Amino acid sequence: MHIDAHQHFWTYNPIDFDWITDDMANIRRDFLPADLEPVLKENGIDGCVSVQAEQTESENEWLLAHASENPFIKGVVGWVDLRAKGVEERLAYYSQVPAIKGFRHILQAEPDRAFMLQPDFKRGISLLKKYNFTYDILINSDQLGYSAELVKAFPNQKFVVDHIAKPNIRAGELENWAKQIRKIALFDNVSCKVSGMVTEASLTDWKKNDFTPYLDVVSEAFGPKRLLYGSDWPVCLAAASYEQVMTIVTDYFSVAEQELIFGMNAVKFYNL
């Protein structure tokens, strides 16, 4: 089974999606399962993991409704307020919903770059393993050090770093990012999504070899058993087609590695 481990759906409005800047204007519209399903089929992908784009529980219910109607959506990464006093009650509720595989917070947008180390947030993280939930770490590269502290504190919790931690590829950020990504990769409870790269490069002028140094680092740091392919569709469409995004990954990894990165790793990580 070939899996796209990271994509989004949304009904667009300019307030909730103010992060979609003018240079990404082509994705200022709705993106729904009917838009994605034929694209996955064309590219030999059997299913996907749908990831929250808004930090509300109503978003969870909306994604779950889509998953119930579209069997190609194999799992949902939702959102709960991990800092809330009643978070365990919410986790117990979602543990009865098989499609919910884990949770994510948009840490990259928090003014406190060490937000993930706040005691109430860590208390929420500490409860995830009890209910067999994963956690997606969405950060910018400047937060990798703090994130390494987080994962070190919870060695039995499954974590995955989204979008290779978003190095600024267009500016050539490599050395410090590489040093930090290697540190977090030392923790064997951490995987990494090979995703989100094209939108960190020059949107209109990227070249496939722009990504090679970054793929070299994550390939060596995590190995093929801890990497998951994600398209980041439809965000990726601001810079590339689905096929182009996929080809960056397939052209780099061997066929044997692709079997893991495009399938078995996601199935195992998210219990699909």
pLDDT in tens, the chain (272 residues): 999 999 999 999 999 999 999 999 999 999 999 999 999 999 999 999 999 999 999 999 999 999 999 999 999 999 999 999 999 999 999 999 999 999 999 999 999 999 999 999 999 999 999 999 999 999 999 999 999 999 999 999 999 999 999 999 999 999 999 999 999 999 999 999 999 999 999 999 999 999 999 999 999 999 999 999 999 999 999 999 999 999 999 999 999 999 999 999 999 999 99
C-alpha–C-alpha distance, residues 253 and 258, integer Å? 6
* Listed residue (55, 116, 123, 54) closest to 85, CA to CA: 123
Domain boundaries, the chain: 3-270
Q: What is the pLDDT of residue 21?
A: 94
pLDDT of 44: 98
What pLDDT score does 28 carry? 98
C-beta of residue 240 within 8 angstroms of C-beta of residue 201: no
Query: What's residue 237's pLDDT?
Result: 98
Helix (H, G, I), strand (E, B) or coil at 3: strand
Could you tell me the CA-to-CA distances from 13 to 6, 7, 50, 54 in Å, in that order? Answer: 21, 18, 19, 12
Confidence (pTM): 0.97
Q: What is the DSSP string of 98-152?
A: TTEEEEEE-GGG-SSTTGGGSHHHHHHHHHHGGGT-EEEE---GGGHHHHHHHHH
* Contact in structure between 221 and 188 (CB atoms under 8 Å): no
* Residue whose entry in the numeric block shows the structure tokens 């070939």: 2
- What is the SS3 assignment for 256? helix
> Looking at the domain covering 3-270, what would its CATH class be?
alpha beta
| Predicted pLDDT at 51 | 99
> How far is 201 from 191, CA to CA, in rounded Å?
22
